Amino acid sequence: MSAFYNVLATNDDLPIATNLPVHSGKVRSVYWLSAKQSKRLIASKGYNVAADAPLAVMVISDRISAFDCIWHGEGGLQGVPGKGAALNAVANHWFTRFREAGLADSHIVDTPHPLVWIVQKAKPVMVEAIARQFITGSMWRAYAGGEREFCGITLPEGLQQNQCLPELLITPSTKGILKGIPNVPEADDVNVTRADLEANYRAFNFATPTDINRYENLLRDGFSIISQDLAAQDQVFVDTKFEFGYVTDANGDDQLIYMDEIGTPDSSRIWDGAELRAGKVVENSKEGFRQFLLNYVDDANILLNKKRMVERAALARDNALPLEAMQDISDTYIGIAEKIIGCKLAVSQQPKEEIIDVLDREYGLIR
């Protein structure tokens, strides 16, 4: 059980050469490099980016977030073993598949370590594009409650929970709080229609109206590649989140790219195919952990009701989860990652020391 504790829980305290505040999210921390350091790396490594492109070192942790909170385990366990490496490996795999298929590139320019990306700064499209092949989760709850229209698309009557939809459904929502857009509330994660995007494309950071078609095609084609590849492993790609942005390549051309992460157990639902044919949903993604939490806590409404965030935060802070639950989610992440990448996952035994060593020795980024 000792290997269980080889997690990278804190990832915003590395001695990476930056003079800017470290941006630390729920899972990843971002260290923006100086213009001088960025130019040096671009020249020495030959990255296909503009010569003055801002670069950052992005370090993923093994923290587990769900319902907008970070959770921990018994005995001081502050993360899920192998989770960070699994997420990066899966995202790297799909980004590579998309690039090789001629779809689009990503914001990643280098992978110095299984837990580290070097990325270029992108101008994000302010839309989280959710693609759904099945009706489940929050959409099913809304449908069961009588809703039929989702992001301007009307679903037929008579659908059943976890049923495959007639076609892939794209349900975009706002990324962050956008102001001054007609019919779009000034709040994060608000569903929008395609008509909203077309009428206000600049407010959503699309360069041209035709890029809305481009982003939808990249989403559909990317979903299709992942779905087909997972089907070969008898896994069902249920739904996922895509994010996009703009960068400038070494030739000075602007490109619409994939960013954030793609097709990972954090950003997607993945079901076991054999179990689904037997009439049972078995999650091979973070959704399994969410279901565990809903069953584990005394009052599941705390996790589902955004008006109870104070109680939810206290619940996550004050409750150390059973080690068995943390082991289960570790097995899920590592298991699906190894299916996708087709080989054993490389998991660091001394992650922080390894990251510092490689960034110092091969990149000159440790102060």
By the 10 Å C-beta count (0-12 exposed, 13-18 middle, 19+ buried), 237 is classed as buried
**pLDDT > 70? residue 212:** yes
Percentage of the residues of the chain whose pLDDT score is greater than 90: 94
Q: What's the pLDDT at 244? A: 97
Q: Residue 34 has what DSSP assignment? A: P
User: How many residues are there in the chain?
Assistant: 367
Rounded Cα distance, 143 and 140, in Å: 5
* Structure tokens, 279: 């009439």
pLDDT band for position 2 (50/70/90)? very low
Rounded Cα distance, 316 and 59, in Å: 23
Percentage of the residues of the chain whose pLDDT score is greater than 70: 99
Q: What's the pLDDT at 1? A: 38
Q: Which of 288, 291, 287, 296 shows the shortest CA–CA distance to 316?
A: 296
Dihedral (CA of 204, 207, 212, 217) sign = negative
- Report the SS3 class of residue 206: coil
Rounded Cα distance, 163 and 301, in Å: 25
* Structure tokens, 14: 């590395």
Rounded Cα distance, 181 and 109, in Å: 34
Q: Say if CB 27 and CB 65 are below 8 A apart.
A: yes
Dihedral (CA of 11, 243, 219, 208) sign = negative
**pLDDT > 70? residue 117:** yes
Q: Where are the domains of the chain?
A: 2-122+342-361, 124-277
Q: What's the pLDDT at 205? A: 96
Q: Provide the CATH number for the domain formed by 124-277 in this structure.
A: 3.30.470.20
Encoded amino acid at 195, one letter: A
Which tens digits make up the pLDDT trace of 317-366? Answer: 999 999 999 999 999 999 999 999 999 998 888 999 999 999 999 999 99
Write the CA distances from 313 to 69, 70, 154, 298, integer angstroms.
6, 8, 36, 15
Which value, to the nearest 10 degrees, does the dihedral of the CA atoms of residues 227, 231, 232, 234 take?
150
SS3 percent helix, strand, coil of the chain, rounded to 5, is 35, 25, 40
Q: What are the residue ranges of helices labelled H in 101-254?
A: 137-144, 194-199, 210-231
Q: How high does pLDDT run on average in the chain?
A: 95
Encoded amino acid at 352, one letter: K
pLDDT band for position 6 (50/70/90)? confident
Class (C level, CATH) for 2-122+342-361: alpha beta
